[in-house]
Structure 1
Amino acid sequence: MAGSNVAKSAQGRGRTRARDEVLLDRELEELPQDLRWREWMLRVEAVIFASAEPVARETLARVVGRDCSIDLLIDDLQEELRSRPYELVYVAGGWQHRTRPRYADTIRASSVPARSVASALSETEAMVLMAVGYFQPVTRAELSKIFGKEISRDTISALRGAGFIASGPRSPTAGAPYTYVTTKHFLSAYGFETLRDLPDIEALEDAGLLSRRVDDVEGEPLEETGEIPDEQIEPTDEPDLT
């Protein structure tokens, strides 16, 4: 019965998606070329503006014509926003609206609630997140060795609840504890396209912001997305065995 319900639900979503695609005139063939391009620009910007996460090229392609160049549309939008206090940036595999860095002090002075939850992290949570970013996949025990004190389950839970980290593959060490890795949301919140955009770790160590306490924490940054493939991520309700 459950399988039947799942199948029906999937069919329903498929019909809804197909209906939406039919109702949306993507090609706009009745419009002159300049007006068609303008409408595509506005559609793309509307989708990016409405999304809480970076929007991938494949998603934007659903609202424009088949022969429309997403890259050229983005170029035109970025040029149009050049004099505005916000811009379109490419982070975590998609495009997102971001306030220009020069207005950061103005926004802080206004005390308005920021959209990014990164600003809500405690100092400890932010430091642990930074360590996960550099040393992933890393266990809680290894994080504790890095900081020279126990990293609590509450800290890990807070970072997972905020969507910044997820369970990685089990460690080959005794007990096979779960490791932790960063997510695409981590890249998005901090404005990174990939983990290669992280600041140089040696510079952070020289500044005393991060210290490698153990020789066996050698997790290498994941090169493209900042997260491990879905099939390798363990369920989030698994017990912490560290």
Structure 2
Amino acid sequence: MSTTITDLNYLKIVLETALLTAQEPLTVAQLKKLFTEDIKSALLTELLEDIRLSWRGRGIELVKLASGWRFRARAEFTPYLARLNPEKPPRYSRAVMETLAIIAYKQPVTRGDIEAIRGVSVATSVMQTLLERGWIEVIGHKDVPGRPWLYATTRKFLDDLGFVSLKDLPPLADLGTLVVPESTPQEVGRNPADETSPLDDEADNLLPVAE
């Protein structure tokens, strides 16, 4: 079937189909590949906003995340969906959450920077947990003797929290409840020796970093 860029309703159907069947968020640049015509990014963004409005009030919503656009279930319906998959997500230890918070609000940081703030050493298992979860990544080396790795949060971290950029990060005290539901019993990356390192003294200094 032949279509032109003036057939906006058809273009929106194509966009909806791609987004509903995609496993990951799609950027505007990726969505442009759906069409042979040279469709401007501004027009696609306008169509995406129209689609978002047309789904308002339904159980599924179109959202813009750090990695692109995607459909997802509205938060108020997740308790119903959880009954189809009763397996609980893992609960992360305080050491993991404190380390994640430091990286999120002070990035880029080295492991030594994290240890200086927490006041205790950071276990390798803690860093590995965050790396495997896809929430942090190595972005380079600090220009000091030894050239330690610099860590920063990823787009997946923002996607999982439902944010577009680091500017959307909540107050530090709320970060843990967003990442880990209180009802999840299993703890990952837990080391009893790490549980005695409160972050409270640093909370006022950990502010979101502008992108």
User: Could you tell me the TM-score, scaled by structure 1's length?
Assistant: 0.63
1:123 and 2:93 correspond: yes
| Paired position in structure 1 for 2:8 | 37
| Distance 1:137-1:60 versus aligned 2 partners, 3 A rule | same
Deviations 1:135-182 (A, max 9, x none): 111122222233333221112112112221111222244422112111
1:151 and 2:122 correspond: yes
SS of structure 2 residue aligned to 1:166: strand
Report the number of matched residues. 185
Pairwise mapping of residues 101-140 of structure 1 onto structure 2 (< 5 A)?
101-108=75-82, 110=83, 112=85, 119-120=89-90, 122-124=92-94, 125-140=96-111
1:191 and 2:162 correspond: yes
Structure having greater relative contact order (Cα 8 Å, sep ≥ 6): 2
Aligned match for 1:94, one of 68, 77, 101: 68
1:168 and 2:139 correspond: yes
| Distance 1:188-1:73 versus aligned 2 partners, 3 A rule | same
| Distance 1:112-1:142 versus aligned 2 partners, 3 A rule | same
1:28 and 2:3 correspond: yes
1:85 and 2:72 correspond: no
| Paired position in structure 2 for 1:66 | 38
What is the distance in 2 between the residues matched to 1:120 and 1:41?
38
SS of structure 2 residue aligned to 1:179: strand
Q: Which runs of 5+ in 1 are unaligned?
A: 1-24, 224-242
Deviations 1:185-213 (A, max 9, x none): 11111111110111134x669xxx84355
Q: Which runs of 5+ in 2 are unaligned?
A: 176-197
Code of the aligned partner of 2:92: S
What is the distance in 2 between the residues matched to 1:218 and 1:103?
33
Code of the aligned partner of 2:38: R
What is the distance in 1 between the residues matched to 2:24 and 2:199?
29
What is the distance in 2 between the residues matched to 1:147 and 1:194?
25
| Distance 1:73-1:112 versus aligned 2 partners, 3 A rule | same
What RMSD, in angstroms, separates the aligned Cα atoms of the two structures? 3.4
Pairwise mapping of residues 199-210 of structure 1 onto structure 2 (< 5 A)?
199-201=170-172, 210=199
| Distance 1:204-1:163 versus aligned 2 partners, 3 A rule | closer
Pairwise mapping of residues 45-64 of structure 1 onto structure 2 (< 5 A)?
45-64=16-35
Query: Which structure has the larger Rg?
Result: 1
User: Could you tell me the TM-score, scaled by structure 2's length?
Assistant: 0.71
